[in-house]
Amino acid sequence: MAECAVRITVLGSGTSTGVPTIGCHCDVCTSADPRDKRLRPSILVSYGGHHVLIDATPDFRAQALRTGFERLDAILFTHEHADHIMGLDDVRPFNFHQRARIPIYASERTMAAIHAAFRYVFDGDEKGTAIPQLDSHTLNGASFDLFGLEFTPIPLLHGKAAIYGFRFGNAAYLTDHSEIPEDSLDRLRGLDVLFLDALRYKPHPTHSTVDRSIATAGRLAARRVFFTHICHDLAHARTEARLPPHIRLAYDGLEIEVEGARA
Ligand SMILES: [Zn+2]
Ligand SMILES: [Zn+2]
Ligand SMILES: [Zn+2]
């Protein structure tokens, strides 16, 4: 396959509650900076006319309408927390328009949790109403090809839970994690674009922090780093002013072209 451009669109850069947070009147939740308005965390990976979604958030419908993509070719799940899966029912319009089922990919545990959370989608009973049409593919950690681009699951620790990030070409998306195992670090060399969880400054048992992710960025020496899964402790402009120039905060709607994407 010829080299093809890969574009990443940030659909959501916020933590599980989103920012603003319901009932909060802090300076970030009331900020006029549009970059301080963060839907739940997800990216869209677009290449060769295909669109691959990583995580289907509770904001998925709003994210799809705002971004304007009208095809959805596959969904990858990092893990089963509600902020990463609860938009799954809203993929139905893509089934209608494309007249096709959509493949979904997740680890065995995450897939089981998705099947439990959306039992009506997977139980095989006749519904007489429209449900998502999905084909489940369980990941065992091996790389897999989607429409000519190789995706590699990257094991991460999210507190005690083993979850996946994903590398594709010269980019990697590592949301929710508190630790990156050594073996996984070895699979993250030579990146042009690296997304890292950076919830806030204060330590958290299941998430990385700004300082921890700055250290990770230094170890991996990715050319461009974007922090995501951000809570209302971090004002966009104020936080970026304290970061090295190659590390930025992701924001909803940000589009990034990955250099040297793939052959
Ligand atoms: Zn999350
Ligand atoms: Zn707030
Ligand atoms: Zn999580």
DSSP string, the chain: -----EEEEEEE-B-TT-BSPTT--STTTT---GGG-B-SSEEEEEETTEEEEE---TTHHHHHHHHT-----EEE-S---HHHHTTGGGGHHHHHHHTS-EEEEEEHHHHHHHHHHTHHHHS----SS----EEEEEE-S--EEETTEEEEEEEEEETTEEEEEEEETTEEEE-S-SB--HHHHGGG-S-SEEEEE---SS--SSS--HHHHHHHHHHHT-SEEEEESB-TT--HHHHHTTS-TTEEE--TT-EEEETT---
CA–CA separation, 85 vs 92, rounded Å?
14
Residue type at position 204: H
**Identity of the residue numbered 230:** I
User: How far away, in angstroms, is 102 Cα from ligand 2 center?
Assistant: 36
> pTM value?
0.97
Sheet containing strand 149-158, edge to edge, reads 144-146, 149-158, 161-168, 171-174, 193-197, 224-228, 247-249
In tens, the pLDDT along 68-106 reads: 999 999 999 999 999 999 999 999 999 999 999 999 999
Which of the ligands is closest to the CA of residue 199? 1
Contacts 24+ apart (CB under 8 A), 196-200: 196/225, 196/226, 196/227, 196/228, 197/227, 197/228, 197/229, 198/227, 198/228, 198/229, 198/230, 198/234, 198/249, 199/15, 199/229, 199/230, 199/231, 199/233, 200/230, 200/231, 200/233, 200/234
Q: 6-257 has which CATH code? A: 3.60.15.10
2 pLDDT exceeds 50?
no
Model pLDDT, residue 91:
98
Ligand nearest to the CA of 83: 1
80 Cα: distance to centroid of ligand 1 (angstroms): 9
At 24-54, the pLDDT tens digits run 999 999 999 999 999 999 999 999 999 999 9
Cα 62 to ligand 1 centroid, rounded to whole Å? 18
Of the candidates 212, 245, 252, 247, the one whose C-alpha atom is nearest the C-alpha of residue 229 is 252
Amino acid (1-letter code) at residue 147: F
Taking residues 194-200, what's their average pLDDT?
A: 98
Domain ranges of the chain: 6-257
Q: Which band of pLDDT confidence, cut at 50, 70 and 90, is reported for residue 128?
A: confident
Q: How much is the pLDDT for 4?
A: 73
Tell me, in angstroms, the distance from the centre of ligand 1 to residue 89's CA.
Answer: 18
| CB neighbour class for 116 (10 Å; exposed up to 12, middle 13-18, buried from 19) | exposed
Mean pLDDT (the chain) is 96
Cα–ligand 1 centroid distance for 242 (angstroms):
24
* Token pair for 16: 């599980």
If one compares 128 and 23, the residue with the highest pLDDT of the two is 23
For ligand 2, an ion, list residues with CB under 5 A: 21, 24, 26, 29, 232
Stretch 209-235: mean pLDDT, rounded? 98
In angstroms, what is the span from residue 81 Cα to ligand 3's centroid? Answer: 5
What is the per-residue pLDDT for 259?
85
